[in-house]
Amino acid sequence: MSTEKKLANKKRRNQNIAFGLFTGISYSVVGLLFVILAFIVVKGIGVISWEFISAMPKEGMTAGGIFPAIVGTLCLVLVSMVFAFPVGVFAAIYMNEYVKDGWVKKIIKQMTNNLAGVPSIVFGLFGMSLFVNKLGFGDSILAGGLTLGLLVLPVVIRTTEESLKAVENTFRQASLGLGASKWQTTRNVVFPIAFPNIITGLILSIGRVSGETAPILFTVAAYFLPKLPTSIFDQAMALPYHLYVISTSGTNIEASRAMAYGTALVLIVIVLISNLLANKLRKHFGKKVKMN
Amino acid sequence: MHKIVSQNVNFYYGEFQALHDISLSVKENTVTALIGPSGCGKSTYLRLLNRMNDLIDNTHMSGTITIDGNDIYDKHTNVDDLRKNVGMVFQKPNPFPKTIFENVAYGLRVNGITDKKIIEERVITSIEQVALWEEVKDKLHKSAFELSGGQQQRLCIARALAIQPSVLLMDEPTSALDPISTSKVEELIYELKKQYTIVIVTHNMQQAGRISDNTAFFYMGELIEYDKTKTIFTKPTKKQTEDYITGRFG
Ligand SMILES: Nc1ncnc2c1ncn2[C@@H]1O[C@H](COP(=O)(O)OP(=O)(O)OP(=O)(O)O)[C@@H](O)[C@H]1O
Ligand SMILES: [Mg+2]
């Protein structure tokens, strides 16, 4: 009886310790995140103004705004997504719906996963040699966008695959059972059901793309370019690189410190907006195809 | 005249043999119930009849299955045509993320029927066949997910009927439904048997007793006993069958 009680006490104590530990850790993580955010908001909010987001940089980037960097980043996001979405989604559909289980599939999977782990600077070098030099795009939004597209391709493939996997098999069977072909089934039944999750994954990758510096370093990013790009063959400024430049090698680093935090704030806001958008879209489409 | 004839069918998932030497024949316009404990191979056998197991990687079968005298596993058999002829209804209602109308029209459209009149006619007939017309006639263009589970299941049956199959496979079609929806589907099955040959998997002994003409008892991948439903339920010849239907195991 008393040993039973002891055991019960011990169990309860261990449970409390573990629970306390996990609670503590999760709150610290959230807290830390909050501190980082607050830090950047506090430091950066001062320079945020209409001029800051709508004007060209001035006086060796210590004054004026970051408009061309915002435009540049948006262009890069657009080009990379136009490339990575269709390619990634089709690759995932092929992998998940068409390739039979076996070693071929395993190898492709493994390669995709490895690709996701390659440091982004390596993508930058690859993009430079392929797009900038070999294909002759030069330093351009096209070259940078494609490089970023390659970078997120594994993410797009993986999220799409996960979303397709989550579609219950009886939907496929029901469609095929009516004499539909595999492609009809994928296009009319499987894809629409998976779509809300796919779109979420895609938008989350926008956050990734807009924040990367290394892949654009050798492929597109301009140090200082106080005009807007006119075509995808132009060079452009970009937020993360601009941030790097004015924090490390501007003409007057101290003077542009506030601008740097302002830039960081804008970047974070763009990422936050795309995440919110992802949630909204998922809810919107989710309602349309809600399972029973 | 037998509609479906299986002879010495073995089926394997990889190394695992799920069906052992199944020989079973089904008469036209009858309801055949497949019963047996979980994992005994009922669904596996059912999926062989419309070659749905082809979709599962690393499987193989031996033996022959014929429908209307045609070997359905013959090289020259067109699988799409086979599946058009052999409709399937699943355990959980699974309407497509489309309108009520489009769910039923789907099978027609994917089979290349484009004539609006024909499509509309067939959709309405099929929905009437499953006694759902009164309940949905005002919301044909609303999402199928707005229907109750029982209505969804009848819609899925209508979807299968729209392409005019001659065989209907049902895998525990009422196990996710409430008692009232269940009895509606049972009545429906009774009606449908006039036009279709139905093979149904069920865990519900009363249901098997109520709606089926013949019953096959599966156990561990083997067909233990197959006879008139009345015989199976009143004087089974095998001890295992008796134990199962009297609820002593399974
Ligand atoms: N896709 C699969 N891969 C491997 N083994 C499978 C697969 N599907 C079924 N099996 C195995 O085959 C055997 C028969 O399964 P089946 O689904 O046909 O049983 P069942 O009689 O329909 O059972 P239940 O009443 O639970 O639906 C089981 O042992 C099961 O584990
Ligand atoms: Mg089953």
In percent, the amount of chain B with pLDDT more than 90 equals 88
Distance CA A159, CA A156 (A): 5
Q: Which chain B residues have a beta carbon less than 8 Å from that of A180?
A: 80, 106-107, 110-111
Residue B250, domain member (yes or no): no
> What residue segments make up the domains of chain A, in order of their start?
3-45, 51-291
Return residues 184-203 of A near B (CB < 8 Å). 184, 188-189, 192-193
Pairing of strands B214-219, B86-89: unpaired
Note whether B52 contacts A100, CB cutoff 8 Å. no
Residue B109, domain member (yes or no): yes
> Phi and psi dihedrals of A34, rounded to 5?
-65, -40
Do the Cβ atoms of A149 and A83 come closer than 8 Å?
yes
**Whole-number pLDDT of residue A56:** 84
> Phi and psi dihedrals of A31, rounded to 5?
-60, -45
pLDDT tens digits along A71-89: 999 999 999 999 999 999 9
Residue B181, domain member (yes or no): yes
Do the Cβ atoms of A209 and A76 come closer than 8 Å?
yes
Structure tokens, B97: 């993320």
**pLDDT over threshold 50, residue B77:** yes
Band the pLDDT of A292: cuts 50, 70, 90.
very low
**Whole-number pLDDT of residue A162:** 93
Least Cα distance to A61 among A227, A229, A260, A213 occurs for: A260
Distance CA A194, CA A162 (A): 9
What is the CA(A167)–ligand 1 centre distance, in A? 20
The class level of CATH for A51-291 reads mainly alpha
Smallest CA–CA separation between B240 and chain A, in Å?
32
Residue B234, domain member (yes or no): yes
CB-CB neighbours of A100 under 10 Å? 9
Number of structural domains chain B divides into? 1
What is the CA(A170)–ligand 1 centre distance, in A? 14
What does the pLDDT average to over A23-42?
Answer: 92
| Residue-wise DSSP of A8-45 | HHHHHHHHHHHHHHHHHHHHHHHHHHHHHHHHHHHHHG
| Residue-wise DSSP of A43-109 | HHGGG-SHHHHHS-EETTTTEE--HHHHHHHHHHHHHHHHHHHHHHHHHHHIIIIISPSSHHHHHHH
> Phi and psi dihedrals of A14, rounded to 5?
-60, -40
Chain B, nearest residue to A183 by Cα: B110
- Give the residue numbers spanning the domain of B134: 2-245
- Give ipTM to 2 decimals: 0.88
SS3 B66: strand
How far is CA B86 from each of CA A180, B36, B47, B80, B173, rounded to the nearest angstrom?
13, 23, 10, 10, 16
pLDDT tens digits along B196-228: 999 999 999 999 999 999 999 999 999 999 999
Do the Cβ atoms of B7 and B13 come closer than 8 Å?
no
pLDDT tens digits along A176-233: 999 999 999 999 999 999 998 898 888 888 888 998 989 998 898 877 787 788 888 8
Scanning the structure block, which residue is given the tokens 């083997």? Answer: B222
Give chain B's contact residues with A (Cβ, < 8 Å): 50, 52, 55, 57-58, 80-81, 83-84, 86-88, 90-94, 96-97, 106-107, 110-111, 143, 145, 149, 152, 156, 159-160, 163
Least Cα distance to B82 among B118, B57, B53 occurs for: B53
Band the pLDDT of A291: cuts 50, 70, 90.
very low
Scanning the structure block, which residue is given the tokens 């009858």? Answer: B30
Which atom of ligand 1 lies nearest, measured to the CA of B40? 21
**pLDDT over threshold 90, residue B184:** no
**Whole-number pLDDT of residue A1:** 58
Residue B144, domain member (yes or no): yes
CATH number of the structural domain spanning residue B67: 3.40.50.300
What does the pLDDT average to over A7-36?
Answer: 91
